[in-house]
Structure 1
Amino acid sequence: MTDDIRPAFDDTDKSPGRPISLSSPILVGPERTLPPGYIHLGVAKEISPALRDFGIYPDSVIREAGLDPHLFDDGTNVIPHAALGRLLTLCVARTNCPHFGLLVGQRATILSLGMVGRLMQHSETLGDAVRALVSNLSIQNRGAVPSLTVIGDTALFAFSVYQPEAESADQISDGSLAVSVNALRALCGAGWNPVEVLLPRTVPADQEPYRLHFRAPVRFNQETAVVVFPARDLDHRIAGADPMVRALLEERIQQIKGAQGSALSDDIRRLLRIRLTSKRCSADDIADLLAMHRRTLSRRLKGSGMGYRAITNEIRFEIARQLLHDTEVPLGQIAAALGYSEASAFTRAFRRWSGQTPTAWRGEGHPG
């Protein structure tokens, strides 16, 4: 595999066409665009009460992350995904709690997922609900991407951060899976439990909070955040689902998605983040998924100033950074997950991207 193009990153927080202050909310609706890299607060709204549980006044921590505390009064307000990462990093430091993200996710409910959560409540089956989440979360979160895979009699719900330079990806993964399990229990009954949970983070000194919440074996140092459960559960019919409400919600979400539009490069990043470690991801494959000709894909990307290989390397570098920082996964395993035939090829590529070998970068403890 040849990787000759160094990823180009723009780490500034901005939306197309106009600057956006981190200290003011972005109003988002059918007439407004949720920019790539931004999220509705939703689950993150639980950060304030989680900090108060530790006796910490949340406003000062939120301001230190560059955000206005008033944003957290309304879960529909929007912040940059990068700012969420900075805030969680500060929260872990202030509370001295390495599983702070898990606590935030524990507090959240299916309604923390906004309109998508309501659509899940009124879906016919659990499978329909999970697929609704996978298909529509982008109207509320353009910093991470969920996926559902069924292999034989096993279902795997995965959640991956895909924004460059994302801090606290491990905390975001913890919280995302925690609220996902809450949502699944809301739909299947409080007694529902996964078969196991996989987390892309180092083994914590105290694993008990994870066992208590997930009520299932938890495996750490994994490549992706995954909830594993029986595929037959996807056929579970959801009590109280209203077809008329479902139709109204689906129509409203389609209106939002149509007005929101989508940057092609962001679509590609989302696809690559969930496919890069498990499937072939050539430009032809991605063009096919986007229902366009390979030449059309190249032409549109050229117009945006970034080629397919550069975007692929950006996502490869992001995954590598997260795994090097947040886990103890061996270099050979990371290389294989990213599609390299040898660890030495991955090492050469990583050196081009960062100026360091993966071992040196991991040893210096760079932020994830």
Structure 2
Amino acid sequence: MSVIRSAGLRGFRATVAELGGDAEMLAAACGLPVAALDADDLLVPDARVDDVLELAARTLDCPDLGLRIAQRQDLDMLGPLALAIRNSPTLDDVLECSTRYLYLHARSLRVTVEPDPYGDRGVIAIRYGLTPGLRPEVQSMDLGIAFVHHMIQRLAGAQYGLRSVELSYRPLAPLERYEQFYGVPVRIERPNTALRVPKTLSNRPLSGGNEKLHRLAMAFLAQQGGGPDASLAPQVRAAVQHLIGTAASGIDAVARLLNLHPRTMQRRLAAEGASFANILNDVRRDAAHRYLTTTDLPVSQIASLLGLSEQATLTRSCRRWWGEPPSAIRRKYASNQD
């Protein structure tokens, strides 16, 4: 069974309420947990999400429901993938990590970059679709491709050079509504659903990113291959190891990287006999020992690399870990090497 994180339903409750509907009643009618309307970290069947979107569109007589919901969504709903995307140096890097790791958010969704379907060498197609064999539903496809469009707008600017939108299906709302939404020609019943954009866009530098955080997030994503029932403690440890020493190494940032609420993460760790504080302490201890015994870095710099506020904090930590200050640990290691 293919699943998607419930973050994909962000904006559904508010949009339905705006239209005068009852989101909880619609969810219950489709067998969707009501909690999925407000939580990000539940895994729900793709089919249930498709069903609730289609039912809401029919019940509320809103054929452009998917477009409306997309306007309320943001990158944060992608969890760990969002950190990599926000800190990507170029759109090409955004597309690469989306192509490789979108499955961590939704198992059946795919984003790929392909040659222009019309043969224009100055244009590429950002294709959005499902795993082969799955039937696309109109509202889900509308929501997905519109979200990709808004993601690029937020990263590259509102006027990023979109040439046309290709839809592999016949939309329910009038075509004029889609062309108003995208601001370009929209063609329907095409072989694939895609955004046609200038090829030069892929190499355009993006502002506000942090290349180090991008590399760390990508390395973390590469380690995420376990299923939803896999132990959480090793994943938290890997996340802390990648983020340690950055501004985003606290519990909120680690939970966001794992697409979990901090309280949910703490509860699951407790069930495994672990805690975030203990994991962070262990990672810092191991890293401190490595820096002290294998580098000549100043102790103040090591403290910064461990995310500690000052050198004195590292000194107190070393006394707690090993009963002696950083300088003694270095001397002891150096004498053992002689």
**Corresponding residue for 1:214?**
182
CA distance in 1, matches of 2:129, 2:169: 13
CA distance in 1, matches of 2:132, 2:44: 14
Indicate which of 151, 164, 170 corresponds to 1:183: 151
Aligned length: 224
Indicate which of 160, 179, 194 corresponds to 2:129: 160
Helix, strand or coil for the counterpart of 1:130? helix
**Corresponding residue for 2:51?**
86
CA distance in 2, matches of 1:205, 1:84: 20
CA distance in 2, matches of 1:112, 1:206: 29
**Corresponding residue for 2:3?**
38
User: Is the 2:10–2:72 Cα contact (8 Å) retained in structure 1?
Assistant: no
Displacement, 1:196? 0.3
State yes or no: 1:72 paired with 2:37. yes
Kindly provide the CA deviation profile for residues 284-317 of structure 1, in whole angstroms up to 9, marking residues without a partner as x: xxxxxxxxxxxxxxxxxxxxxxxxxxxxxxxxxx
Q: 1:175 to 1:155 in 2, by over 3 A?
A: same
CA distance in 1, matches of 2:41, 2:21: 24
Displacement, 1:163? 6.8
User: Is the 2:32–2:49 Cα contact (8 Å) retained in structure 1?
Assistant: no
User: Is the 1:134–1:146 Cα contact (8 Å) retained in structure 2?
Assistant: yes
Counterpart code for 2:153: R
Alignment of 1:333-348 (within 5 A): none
Counterpart code for 1:103: R
Kindly provide the CA deviation profile for residues 40-66 of structure 1, in whole angstroms up to 9, marking residues without a partner as x: 123322221111110112000011110
Higher relative contact order (CA 8 A, sep 6+): 1
CA distance in 2, matches of 1:66, 1:224: 30
Displacement, 1:100? 1.3
**Corresponding residue for 1:256?**
224
The two structures have a TM-score, normalised by structure 1, of 0.57
Displacement, 1:207? 2.5
Q: 1:243 to 1:203 in 2, by over 3 A?
A: closer
Q: Which segments of 5 or more consecutive residues in structure 2 lack a partner in the other structure?
A: 229-338
Q: CA RMSD in A?
A: 2.0
State yes or no: 1:123 paired with 2:94. no
Helix, strand or coil for the counterpart of 1:181? helix
CA distance in 1, matches of 2:78, 2:184: 23
User: Is the 1:110–1:182 Cα contact (8 Å) retained in structure 2?
Assistant: no
State yes or no: 1:228 paired with 2:193. no
Q: 1:177 to 1:57 in 2, by over 3 A?
A: same
Alignment of 1:48-67 (within 5 A): 48-67=13-32
User: Is the 2:9–2:36 Cα contact (8 Å) retained in structure 1?
Assistant: no
Displacement, 1:131? 1.3
Kindly provide the CA deviation profile for residues 67-111 of structure 1, in whole angstroms up to 9, marking residues without a partner as x: 111122122221111111111121111111222122222221222
**Corresponding residue for 1:133?**
98
Displacement, 1:192? 2.3
**Corresponding residue for 1:241?**
209
Counterpart code for 2:123: T
CA distance in 2, matches of 1:42, 1:195: 29
CA distance in 2, matches of 1:155, 1:115: 27
**Corresponding residue for 2:168?**
200
Displacement, 1:253? 0.9
The two structures have a TM-score, normalised by structure 2, of 0.62
User: Is the 2:161–2:198 Cα contact (8 Å) retained in structure 1?
Assistant: no
User: Is the 1:146–1:157 Cα contact (8 Å) retained in structure 2?
Assistant: yes
Helix, strand or coil for the counterpart of 1:159? strand
Counterpart code for 2:196: V
Q: Which segments of 5 or more consecutive residues in structure 1 lack a partner in the other structure?
A: 1-12, 14-36, 262-368
CA distance in 2, matches of 1:68, 1:224: 32
What is the aligned-residue identity percentage?
Answer: 18
Displacement, 1:205? 5.3
